[in-house]
Amino acid sequence: MKIHKYDTVIVGAGGAGMRAAIESTKRSRTAVLTKLYPTRSHTGAAQGGMAAALANVEEDNWEWHTFDTVKGGDYLVDQDAAEILAKEAIDSVLDLEKMGLPFNRTPDGTIDQRRFGGHSRNHGEAPVRRSCYAADRTGHMILQTLYQNCVKEGVEFFNEFYVLDQLITEVDGVKTSAGVVAYELATGEIHIFQAKAVIYASGGCGKFFRVTSNAHTLTGDGQAAVYRRGLPLEDMEFFQFHPTGIWRMGILLTEGARGEGGILRNKDGERFMEKYAPVMKDLASRDVVSRSIYTEIREGRGCGPEGDHVYLDLTHLPPEQLDAKLPDITEFARTYLGIEPYTDPIPIQPTAHYAMGGIPTNVEGEVLSDNTTVVPGLYAAGEVACVSVHGANRLGTNSLLDINVFGRRAGIAAAEYSQKAEYVELPENPASLVVEQIENLRSSTGTERVATLRRELQDTMDANVMVFRTEQTIKTAVEKIAELRERYKNVAIQDKGRRFNTDLLEAVELGNLLDLAEVMAVSALARKESRGGHYREDYPNRDDVNFMRHTMAYREVGADGTDSIRLDYKPVVQTRYQPMERKY
């Protein structure tokens, strides 16, 4: 076991982690721990763009952007945070350009902008061009640019170091971050990183669904680590289903395709979004479009022999436009479906895409241990966190924005904190939980396989807590997850070695997914209303009287060692916008 000491430790090297690292490294001795290599992070898969009211191509301002974000989130957004997001968006985009990001350009040489779902001029009048983009590779360019600037700043990376535990020490009765425990994939060695400040930027948890745009590695490791230490998770019932995933595979096809003029059609060739969103049509918010697609499918207007998908039609767009603006997604259609998007429509279905919920933070990125108390030295940013700027449904292009705005904020806040603070004493036997977990898995003689349990988890999540939910389907999921968690105790792996044991890693990841799936389902069961990405057929309306509040889920351990989930609620911060009916 090795012990390292750093001022600041960042967990995760995607957009949020590297944006934080650039700030943190300038101010404090920083280590970045990632279970991958930085450039493998899933920020690189984001396509369509990053929202900012630059007003380069038409009139726009940050107040309209704030309103769209609040409305898009079905009024569950904390409005003070949304205002910061929209205001700081402008400098965030300009900072990236100065760091070298190769944005597409207007004829004047400024950053070009295009339309995206839910972004409108003057509070919903018409779509507005707000998304700053680099073809359909904006996430790739952001990830590369941030990595390039990490190289420039000399950021210290620990690649293929998997963080398994968050260390917390009580100082004068206050839970305080002491560091993290990590597992080195190459050697199987356990490392303790003692740090004054820890930032979680480890991304989402979409792999508990089967049809998902998420990478295999998005298993909620950060959320699970802090949750197991008694810290809450906020709004976990809100998960975004992106309307246009490649049929069956779930690979993302950017909303930018509709921003460029692409149209969704049912089996009759009808542009069905006109019925559901007369103004924004195909560019309504993602929750609305995903529900509309499934409504078409349920009512028998789906495409194909099984009627289980609809079409994304790009055939009316000039091939030059597709080549210039959507080169990657058109190639995905050719590679994975054998379809030529110049001439044929692309079969799509909604795909599990983004966790709106996560580790609760304030606008400085400080993690909360309840509705108001900050955990000194602990920060989170990006998809792992819940600020909450996305509320019940995130707008497209607001996540690349979120990682930059709040990654930067967390990086500055954590480094400034670690320059003032003293090291907190490590708990006794800091690695004990991790050592036990690893040894149990290595020595297990159980009969359950990781892949089987994961598949069953994904199947129940897809069937029961996806776009449409009812009390009955969610209960089915809760029961199934409980069964799987029980069976997980009997899981065994085949690889007993120490070197690059990805078999072991997948078993640990499954444990994280099971814990988070349970939180998600239990939170969803209790929210007896429909809001944003959480749609209850048995409660089809939004209920502001009883549910205009964030869910806070805590893990409780009973005297007999069994754990359970306790739900609490946190008020929503409302400033300038009163809740209104949401129409697109």
Partner 1 sequence: MATPVLDKVEAESAASPYITVTFRVRRFNPEVSAEAVWEDFQLDIDPKERVLDGLHKIKWEVDGTLTFRRSCAHGICGSDAMRINGKNRLACKTLIKDINPEKPITVEPIKGLTVLKDLVVDMEPFFQAYRDVMPFLITKDTNEPTRERLQTAEDRERFDDTTKCILCAACTSSCPVFWNDGQYFGPAAIVNAHRFIFDSRDEAGEQRLEILNDRDGVWRCRTTFNCTDACPRGIEVTKAIQEVKRALITRRY
Alpha-carbon span 549 to 572, nearest angstrom: 5
Residue 360: its H or E element:
strand 359-360
Least separation in angstroms between residue 497's CB and partner 1 is 5
Q: State which of residues 18, 45, 192, 263 lies at the interface with partner 1 (CB under 8 A).
A: 45
Q: State which of residues 1, 2, 102, 489 lies at the interface with partner 1 (CB under 8 A).
A: 102
Q: Longest Cα pair distance anywhere in the chain, in angstroms?
A: 68
**Per-residue exposure over 382-416, b if at least 16 CB sit within 10 Å of its own CB, e if not:** bbbbbbbbbbbbbbbbbbbbbbbbbbbbbbbbbbb
Over the Cα atoms of the chain, what is R_g? 23
Q: Which is nearer to partner 1, 372 or 494 (CB)?
A: 494
Residue type, 297: I
Q: Which stretch binds partner 1 (CB under 8 A): 144-152, 163-171, 363-371, 562-570?
A: 144-152
Least separation in angstroms between residue 83's CB and partner 1 is 22
In the range 330-389, which residues lie near partner 1 by CB under 8 A? Answer: 332, 335-336, 349
Could you say which DSSP state residue 209 is in? S
251 binds partner 1 (CB under 8 A): yes
State the catalytic residue, choosing from 258, 286, 527, 536: 286
Look up residue 41 and give its two tokens. Answer: 């992070």
Q: Which is nearer to partner 1, 323 or 425 (CB)?
A: 323
Least separation in angstroms between residue 280's CB and partner 1 is 23
81 in Cβ contact with 138 (< 8 Å): no
256 binds partner 1 (CB under 8 A): no
494 binds partner 1 (CB under 8 A): yes
Q: State which of residues 493, 548, 552, 565 lies at the interface with partner 1 (CB under 8 A).
A: 493
Could you say which DSSP state residue 309 is in? B
Please report, in range form, the residues annotated as the binding site for substrate: 242, 254, 353, 394
Least separation in angstroms between residue 111's CB and partner 1 is 5
155 binds partner 1 (CB under 8 A): no
Q: State which of residues 110, 169, 315, 444 lies at the interface with partner 1 (CB under 8 A).
A: 110
Packing angle, helices 138-153 and 398-420, rounded to 10: 20
423 binds partner 1 (CB under 8 A): no
Q: State which of residues 2, 3, 59, 105 lies at the interface with partner 1 (CB under 8 A).
A: 105
The bridge status of strand 30-34 relative to strand 156-159 is parallel
Count of residues touching partner 1 (by CB under 8 A): 76
Q: Is the dihedral of CA 426, 427, 431, 433 positive or negative?
A: negative
Look up residue 377 and give its two tokens. Answer: 């030295």
Of 106, 469, 52, 49, the residue nearest 290 (C-alpha) = 469
53 binds partner 1 (CB under 8 A): no
In the range 440-469, which residues lie near partner 1 by CB under 8 A? Answer: 449-451, 459, 462-464, 466-468
In the range 187-226, which residues lie near partner 1 by CB under 8 A? Answer: 210-211, 215-217
Alpha-carbon span 263 to 261, nearest angstrom: 6
Alpha-carbon span 41 to 167, nearest angstrom: 25
Is 409 annotated in the active site?
Answer: no
DSSP string, 243-271: EEEETTT--B--THHHHTT-EEE-TT---
Least separation in angstroms between residue 271's CB and partner 1 is 22
Look up residue 140 and give its two tokens. Answer: 């790739």
Least separation in angstroms between residue 463's CB and partner 1 is 5
238 binds partner 1 (CB under 8 A): no
Q: State which of residues 123, 152, 271, 566 lies at the interface with partner 1 (CB under 8 A).
A: 152
So which residues are the catalytic ones?
286
